[in-house]
């Protein structure tokens, strides 16, 4: 398991390099992916990008499994469109927003540990890239899985959610949970003086 790089480290602000073709299908690439998956699960988190373990490669892993989702309240799951996202490793992902619908929710990052903020993101995205074995991959995702993909692909461009957040909502995670749990996002934004798009 790797330790997770925290905001302030240069690697989180660089453009990651495409994974070279000759790495596809290798034991070396699979070992990196295995380490990323173990690190993500231990955190625990629902996604991890290679720069978060200090490696400037365009590589992400994501997983929001059904077991984890069962521990969340039904209302939370529904509001966030939090549907299961099976474990996937995506090499050299490219993202395209689909449609103009957006949603705003609290979001956190394993590299900005202990903090959370409201972030507005597209509700639907198309992701193209490669599997670790080099097969092409083309997926359209919506709801929470679309948010996870946007967050992770941002990491590969040196972008953190704090660059996109509604800064007035930036809070310690435990305080945001105490203050805003079960409150509709529209109310939270109003109370914080945030005008949602």
> Rounded to the nearest whole angstrom, what is the least distance from the CB of residue 125 to Zn ion in the complex?
16
> Rounded to the nearest whole angstrom, what is the least distance from the CB of residue 115 to Zn ion in the complex?
11
Query: Which part of the chain contacts Zn ion (CB under 5 A), choosing from 2-10, 106-114, 166-174, 178-186?
Result: 106-114
Closest CA to 165 of 145, 147, 184: 147
> Rounded to the nearest whole angstrom, what is the least distance from the CB of residue 36 to Zn ion in the complex?
12
Name 195's Cβ contacts closer than 8 Å, sequence gap at least 6. 189
Query: Which part of the chain contacts Zn ion (CB under 5 A), choosing from 56-64, 93-101, 109-117, 177-185?
Result: 109-117
3-state SS, one letter per residue, for 25-63: CCHHHHHHHHHHHHHHHHCCCCEEEHHHHCCCECEEEEE
Helices and strands: H and E segment counts in the chain: 6, 8
Choice from 50, 95, 109, 149 touching Zn ion (CB under 5 A): 109
Q: Would you name the residues annotated as active-site residues?
A: 152
Binding region for Zn ion (CB under 5 A): 109
């Amino acid at each position: 398991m790797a330790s997770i790089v925290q905001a302030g480290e240069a690697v989180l602000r660089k453009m990651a390099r495409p994974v070279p073709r000759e790495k596809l299908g290798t034991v070396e690439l699979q070992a990196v992916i295995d380490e990323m998956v173990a690190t993500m699960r231990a955190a625990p988190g629902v996604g991890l990008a290679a720069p978060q373990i200090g490696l400037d490669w365009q590589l992400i892993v994501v997983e929001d499994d059904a077991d984890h989702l069962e521990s969340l309240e039904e209302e939370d799951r529904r509001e966030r469109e939090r549907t299961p996202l099976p474990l996937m490793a995506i090499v050299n992902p490219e993202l395209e927003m689909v449609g103009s619908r957006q949603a705003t929710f609290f979001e956190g990052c394993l590299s900005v540990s202990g903090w959370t903020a409201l972030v507005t993101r597209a509700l639907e995205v198309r992701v193209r890239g490669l599997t670790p074995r080099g097969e092409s991959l083309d997926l359209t995702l919506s709801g929470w899985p679309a948010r996870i993909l946007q967050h992770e692909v941002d990491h590969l461009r040196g972008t953190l959610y704090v660059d996109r957040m509604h800064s007035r909502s930036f809070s310690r995670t435990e305080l945001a949970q105490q203050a805003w749990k079960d409150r509709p996002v529209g109310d939270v934004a109003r109370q914080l003086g945030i005008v949602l798009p």
